[in-house]
Structure 1
Amino acid sequence: MEWIRWSRYSDSAVVETGEMPPRNLPMVLKSYGEQAKELLEQNGADHVVYAVIEYTPESKIKEVQFYMLELDDATFQERVNLLTDSVVYAVHKR
């Protein structure tokens, strides 16, 4: 079984790295999503990005990056538009 590489970031740096079995990813994403929703409700940001999954050209997961980034709408759009071969997980104020 191939394991998934992951990194967890603070506002400006990598805090932790590791690997996980693919079966754990949905549970971890759910947990981060719940935390992001709480942060959004507390602080009123436009968006909270909690994960980005990068894919290889063959559509396999290359790496998962975990965050808890509060962004205004302009910054969110700017950063997301730069990404390719990725899926962004975020909660939104709307």
Structure 2
Amino acid sequence: MYRHLVLWKLKEQADGQSKDQLAITVKAKLDSLPALIKEVRQYDVGINIGSYGAQFFDVGLFSTFDNEEDFKAYCVYPEHDAVVAYIQSVTEDEQIVDF
């Protein structure tokens, strides 16, 4: 199994939306990917509901693939690239762990 964990800290305002609205948009865009990408085995996206302070992240993704090759295939789908480009435009920080 290959697992991919990503956390995003969103901008306060971007794309004409507040941080809360951005979180909903980012989640919706990510949630659309498993139906389009056959290599995905598990895909969980969540909006942070904790109130820990400004140093914590707003949206998280935990995804699972059979192996690294399937993960790499997921990364080159045009739909994935479009979602990544959008997320990069509305985030301040991103942290990734693959295991």
- TM-score, with structure 1 as normaliser: 0.35
Higher RCO, 1 vs 2 (CA within 8 Å, ≥6 residues apart): 2
- TM-score, with structure 2 as normaliser: 0.34
